[in-house]
Structure 1
Amino acid sequence: MIKTSRKGEWLEIVIPEKWTSYCVQDLFRTIWHAPKKLTHSLRMEKGVRVNGQPADWMVPLKRNDRLDIRLFHEQEFGIQTAYHELSILYEDDHLIVVNKPANMDTHPNSPNETNTLANAVAYHLLSKGEYRHIKHVHRLDHDTTGAILFAKHPFIGSILDQMLEKREIKRTYLALVHGIIKVKKGTINEPIGRDRHHATRRRVSPSGQKAVTHYEVLKTNHKQKLTLVKCSLETGRTHQIRVHFSHIGHPLAGDQLYGGAPLFSRQALHAVKLQFIHPITEEEIICHAPFLDKQEIFTGVDPYTI
């Protein structure tokens, strides 16, 4: 674990033994893979210091050197702030993980929209005196519930984007589907594209984007002919789990857009766990998202055991 602390606008990192062969430029390029534009800006604005002095980016660092990076200056939120009750699963100076309720978008689709999770997160930060340009790292559908990750500043946002693309952020979902799935573990590897006959639907299409969903059967209800499955994604296509299970003849309960019966007022899909290595501290972060839905779609399931 990397020892860090916040000093006003600056993040202080105590250089560990394993970084003593690196210079500052190596850290930005090799360890963090920071964007060139952001790195150049920090360099030109003297936004990096070593032991209190402007950094020489090419000099090797020594153990216990103090590396300071100016990450926490005030920024416009980029969206309107609006109060909504939040269920926060994890938060530090760099990122926040929130448990999204049903009937709420992840982020605004128009400047005047305020009934989204991003608006609520912005209000939460404002109430703490943190003026940050927040960014969602991934999204959930309007009626899908569970854990969503937001970045608090561009540096961490760019690193988390790369981690998501490399599948280094593990997202686990629970879905309740129609029918009894007999194969206990499986993978659905089918490309997904737009449905040209319906504005919001997606469908399995040979010309679509690669989409891979892994699943494991957790419970079966033969009386109601329902199966509870745990899913993990290699890709993050729109409606991916919903499209894939509908394609194999097991649409999600409540998901009328993809052939599910209206057992509930929404599709039975919950992002139950988010797991990753913190890109700054290298600490393992595991967030379990409890069920907020009053419909009790996943009755008898303990989210903390998934």
Structure 2
Amino acid sequence: MNVQVQGDMLLIQPDRRALGSEVARLLTTALALPEGFVRTLFHQQRVLLGAVPATPTDLVGKSKLRLTGGVVEPYGVDDWGAVPMAEVLHADDHLFVVNKPPGILIHPGGAEDRDTLAHRVAHWLYAQGLERKVRHVHRLDEGTSGCVLYAAHAYAARALDRALAERRIERTYLALVHGRLPQRQGRIELRIGRDRHVAGKYRVTRSGKPASTEYWVLGEHSQRGHTFSLLECRLQTGRTHQIRVHLNHLGCPIVGDTLYGGHRVLGWRNESSGIALHAARLALPHPYTGEQVTVRVDLPASWQGVLQWFARTMAEMAGAKRGDDEWPSIPRGTARGIES
């Protein structure tokens, strides 16, 4: 199925498999739009077959299908012209992936937040000549760096939200932690809920929501009687602070994460309030073509000092195949390594 953005509409050329399907069914299956959203589109006469408003039970033929509106929208943030542009790792008409630096928020929480990733994304959109609402699909904590997925319009936002809920978006992190994990690899399945005693903090609790994190130990280093481990972590669920809470519960807090028991170590630079957690890889099936989109980004400069401890491990990761994947290389201060 060919889906294109054309002005303030989505232009859909159905493939042979869609011919004879009801329009409403095509929108909820092939375009992965929620049923309530689709009903609204029909009610507002925003679904056209050719140039004629369609009904839900109309059959798809060779005429192009159009969804009007939902593409050109205000950015949703103001005063973005004074901040740097976002560093975009991958972009097409429907989605894009941004490299988040450590120490900035995904979106403003109040009027005082004037330099967030949302502001930087708005600046980048403007520079591309695009007026689109800034729509992040998932979040990273303020101190975490790496890949963040954005939807380029309202229709892609719904499809990507479904993909996230169905766990079809794979997010892989590198973490530097204090201590040694109980096993070389494992899965942490512990419920997470709010810490009632500390605002903004979470904890493992029986009354919390299910949370699952896979991890692999990539290397260990001992210095002055202390052990540090380099981990690959993969989210199976997306609870707030999930990796941070799970690793702290195992007695291995993330370096620099003072909220969850971590602390600064010699060689770790976190002037920008960063912690040693990096979203190194993002992979997902494209919502319309089904083709695999894989984006990788190198570690930020704050990792330079401590990564010499794991130089051999990182060199092996950069040069070795992990299935169809290659890991990001040792940081050089800028992001690179884009594949789609």
Does the pair score TM above 0.5?
Answer: yes
Inter-partner Cα distance in structure 2 for 1:287 and 1:27: 29
Inter-partner Cα distance in structure 2 for 1:73 and 1:153: 5
What residue is the counterpart of 1:248 in the other structure? 250
Q: Letter of the 1:18 partner, please give it.
A: R
Q: Does 1:66 align with 2:68?
A: no
Kindly state the Cα deviation for residue 21 of structure 1 after the two structures are TM-superposed. Answer: 4.2
Residues 196 and 26 (structure 1), Cα distance of their counterparts in 2 relative to 1, 3 Å cut: same
Residues 122 and 85 (structure 1), Cα distance of their counterparts in 2 relative to 1, 3 Å cut: closer
Alignment of 1:70-219 (within 5 A): 70-71=68-69, 73-82=71-80, 83-181=83-181, 183-219=183-219
Give yes or no for contact 2:71–2:154 (8 Å, CA) kept in 1. Answer: no
Give yes or no for contact 2:276–2:303 (8 Å, CA) kept in 1. Answer: no
Kindly state the Cα deviation for residue 275 of structure 1 after the two structures are TM-superposed. Answer: 0.8
Q: Letter of the 2:177 partner, please give it.
A: V
Q: Does 1:32 align with 2:31?
A: yes
Kindly state the Cα deviation for residue 96 of structure 1 after the two structures are TM-superposed. Answer: 1.8
Residues 184 and 7 (structure 1), Cα distance of their counterparts in 2 relative to 1, 3 Å cut: same
Inter-partner Cα distance in structure 2 for 1:290 and 1:138: 20
Residues 118 and 37 (structure 1), Cα distance of their counterparts in 2 relative to 1, 3 Å cut: same
Give yes or no for contact 1:156–1:279 (8 Å, CA) kept in 2. Answer: yes
Kindly state the Cα deviation for residue 110 of structure 1 after the two structures are TM-superposed. Answer: 1.1
2:196 aligned counterpart, secondary structure: coil
Q: Which moved more, 1:230-239 or 1:67-76?
A: 67-76
Inter-partner Cα distance in structure 1 for 2:186 and 2:32: 34
Q: Residue deviations 1:160-209, cap 9 Å, x none? A: 11211111111111111112335221011111122222213211111122
TM-score (norm 1): 0.90
Q: Residue deviations 1:226-245, cap 9 Å, x none? A: 11111111211121111111
Give yes or no for contact 2:248–2:254 (8 Å, CA) kept in 1. Answer: yes
Paired-residue identity, %: 35
Give yes or no for contact 1:8–1:72 (8 Å, CA) kept in 2. Answer: no
Q: 5+ residue gaps in structure 2?
A: 319-324, 328-340
How many residues of Structure 1 are paired with residues of Structure 2 in the alignment?
A: 304
What residue is the counterpart of 2:280 in the other structure? 272
Where does structure 1 differ by over 4 angstroms across 4 or more consecutive aligned residues? none
Q: 5+ residue gaps in structure 1?
A: none
Q: Letter of the 1:12 partner, please give it.
A: L
- Aligned partner (choices 212, 235, 238) of residue 236 of structure 1: 238
Q: Letter of the 2:8 partner, please give it.
A: E
Give yes or no for contact 1:23–1:58 (8 Å, CA) kept in 2. Answer: yes
Inter-partner Cα distance in structure 2 for 1:200 and 1:273: 27
Inter-partner Cα distance in structure 2 for 1:71 and 1:287: 29
Q: Residue deviations 1:23-67, cap 9 Å, x none? A: 2111123333423443234323432233444335423324x5422
Q: Which moved more, 1:294-303 or 1:82-91?
A: 294-303
TM-score (norm 2): 0.82
Inter-partner Cα distance in structure 1 for 2:192 and 2:110: 26
Residues 182 and 129 (structure 1), Cα distance of their counterparts in 2 relative to 1, 3 Å cut: same
